[in-house]
Amino acid sequence: MSVLFAFLHHAAAFALVAALAAELVLLKDLSAAAARRLRAIDAIYGASAGVLLAVGLLRVFYFEKGASYYFQSAPFLAKLALFIAVGLASIYPTVTFRRWAKAAPEPGKVRALRGLIHAQLAGVVLILLCAALMARGVGFLG
């Protein structure tokens, strides 16, 4: 069962990165059709983030080394904080994409949205670094 949850965790992470990359591409040459696709892709992004969080917490509490181990790991705590930060950074783009269902996209917002999505991708890269450190037992506080 642990292998299945590890697979689901990784699949959700890849889906999340793919959705962010697709959002960046669609924001490059924004059209009404691209704005509609952005809402759909952002829903995939949100769903993959939800699955990633749920499966990750299940792994921490039930399928791996246990919560007491993970909560004594500096890279795990950093990974969790980064995940929260990336999630918070996704609120503005999501709200903006949903507004575009009722009104035309505002060209002035595109640059800010692209910057936020780049920041989210940078956060994901740091999360991957934390995962690698965690897997090697680096930064264990206990």
Give me the residue spans of the domains in the chain.
2-135
User: Average pLDDT in the 80-87 region?
Assistant: 98
Residue 32: predicted pLDDT: 83
Q: Which residue has the tokens 């704005």?
A: 35
Residues in CB range of 39: below 8 A, 6 or more apart: 97, 98, 100, 101
- The DSSP line for 99-115 is HTTTSPPPHHHHHHHHH
- pLDDT at 107 exceeding the cut of 80: no
What's the token pair of residue 101?
């269902």
- Mind listing the pLDDT tens digit for each residue in 24-63? 999 998 888 888 899 999 999 999 999 999 999 999 999 9
Average pLDDT of the chain, as a whole number = 94
Q: Which residue has the tokens 């956060």?
A: 123
* Model confidence, pTM: 0.92
